[in-house]
Amino acid sequence: MEKDKLQKEIRRLAQEKEAIILAHNYQPPEIQDVADLTGDSLELSLKASRTPAKVVVFCGVRFMAETAAIVCPEKRIVFPRLEAGCEMADMITPEDVLGLKERYPQAPVVTYVNSYVEIKAVSDICCTSANSVNVVKALEAQEVIMVPDKNLARYTQRFFPDKKIYYHDGFCPFHEVLTVEDLQQARKQHPEAVLMVHPECRPEVIDQAEVVRSTSGMLKYARESSAREFIVGTEIGLLYPLKKQNPHKEFYPASSQMLCKAMKMISLEDLYKALETLEPVVEVPEDIRQRAYQAVARMLEIPRN
C-alpha cells in the first residue's frame, strides 16, 4: 500500500477500534504524522494516564509502552514491535539498584523512566529528562541515588550544591557519542546558531550548550526563541518535528551519529497490523507493576514548571 493510503487506513482503523496513537518525538516522520499525540517521555506518560481511550497504541521504545501499562492497567497497551528496546535501559539490573541501596541506605532511589519495570519496582520515584530537577528538589533527602543514566545524574547535580547524587554508570550510546570536537565543527559551520543539547549528553558537551532540555523542551524553546538557526544535540529524529513546527528556521544535527535504531523500528505497516489485530500487547506482571506504579505515580504528582 502507498504511504498516504496506509496513513488514511491507520486513521480509519484507530477510529473504528477507539484507539489513541501516541508517538515519541524521535519516531520516523510518517509515524509522527499519523499519531494523535506526540511528545517527550513525560508528556507521553501523562497523556497515557489521562486519555479516556481503552486502547493505546504506543510508538516509541519498550520502556515507554511499559510506563503506559504501569499507569493504565485497565487499558490495552498495544506496542507494534516488542523488540524495540533501549540500550541505556539494558545497562542496569535490579541487583545493581539493590547494591546501591545497601551502600547508601539513607538515599532514596530516583529512576529515570528510561528503564524497565523491574528497575522502577525497586525505586522510590521516577523522573524524566524534563523533570529530574523538580523531582530531586521535591525530595527532602540530602543524598539521592539516580539510575541508570550517569549523565542525567551529573546534570541534575549541578542544580543542588548542597545535595549529593550517587549514580549508576549507565548512559545512552547515541548521546554519549557527541563530542566537544563535533560541536566545534558545527559551530564553525553555523556560527549564528543556538546550541541545544539533551541532558543525556556528556558533561563537557553540556558545558558548551546554551540550552539543555528534554526533546519537547527543545521544541518549545525553538518555537519561542527569536533565533533563526539551531544546532541540535540529540537523536536526529527530533529534526523532523523541529522543522515541521518552525518551517522558517534552520536546524542542523550536532552529529550524524546520533541515531537510535530502536526508535526507528516501527513502520507504518507494523502500525497498521497492530491496529487491525490489537496485538502485540505489552505485558507487565501485576505484582511488579504495583510496585513500579508507586514510583511513576509519585513522579506524575510533581508539578511541572
Q: Which residues bind ligand SF4 (CB under 6 A)?
A: 61, 86-88, 114, 172, 174, 235, 260, 262-263
How far apart are the C-alpha atoms of 28 and 52, rounded to whole Å?
26
CA dihedral 152, 154, 160, 164 (to 10 degrees): 120
114 binds ligand 13P (CB under 6 A): yes
SS3 call for 73: coil
Least distance in Å: CB of 185 to ligand 13P? 22
Least distance in Å: CB of 105 to ligand 13P? 30
214 binds ligand 13P (CB under 6 A): yes
- 123 vs 215 by CB, closer to ligand 13P: 215
- 40 vs 182 by CB, closer to ligand 13P: 40
Least distance in Å: CB of 262 to ligand SF4? 5
45 binds ligand 13P (CB under 6 A): no
Q: Are strands 143-147 and 37-39 parallel, antiparallel or unpaired?
A: unpaired
Number of residues that bind ligand 13P (CB under 6 A): 11
111 binds ligand 13P (CB under 6 A): no
Which of 25, 111, 131, 151 contacts ligand 13P by CB under 6 A? 25
Least distance in Å: CB of 68 to ligand 13P? 14
Alpha-carbon distances, residue 159 vs 28, 112, 120, 134, 137 (angstroms): 34, 17, 24, 10, 9
- 99 vs 203 by CB, closer to ligand 13P: 203
Least distance in Å: CB of 86 to ligand SF4? 3
**Quick one: DSSP state of residue 25?**
T
Contact assessment for residue 205 and residue 177, using Cβ atoms and an 8 Å cutoff: no
Locate 80 and state its grid cell. 507494534
* Residue 262, contacted partner among ligand SF4, ligand 13P, none, CB below 5-8 A by kind: ligand SF4
Name the strands in the sheet holding 211-212, side by side, starting at the edge strand that comes first in the sequence: 211-212, 194-197, 229-233, 250-253
67 binds ligand 13P (CB under 6 A): no
Residues 237-276, interacting with ligand 13P (CB under 6 A): none
How far apart are the C-alpha atoms of 285 and 181, rounded to whole Å?
45
DSSP per-residue letters across 94-143: HHHHHHHHHH-TTSPEEEESSS-HHHHTT-SEEE-TTTHHHHHHH---SE
151 binds ligand 13P (CB under 6 A): no
- Chain centroid to CA 277: how far? 27
**Footprint on this chain of ligand 13P (rule: CB under 6 A):** 25, 40-41, 114, 128-129, 172, 200, 214-215, 235
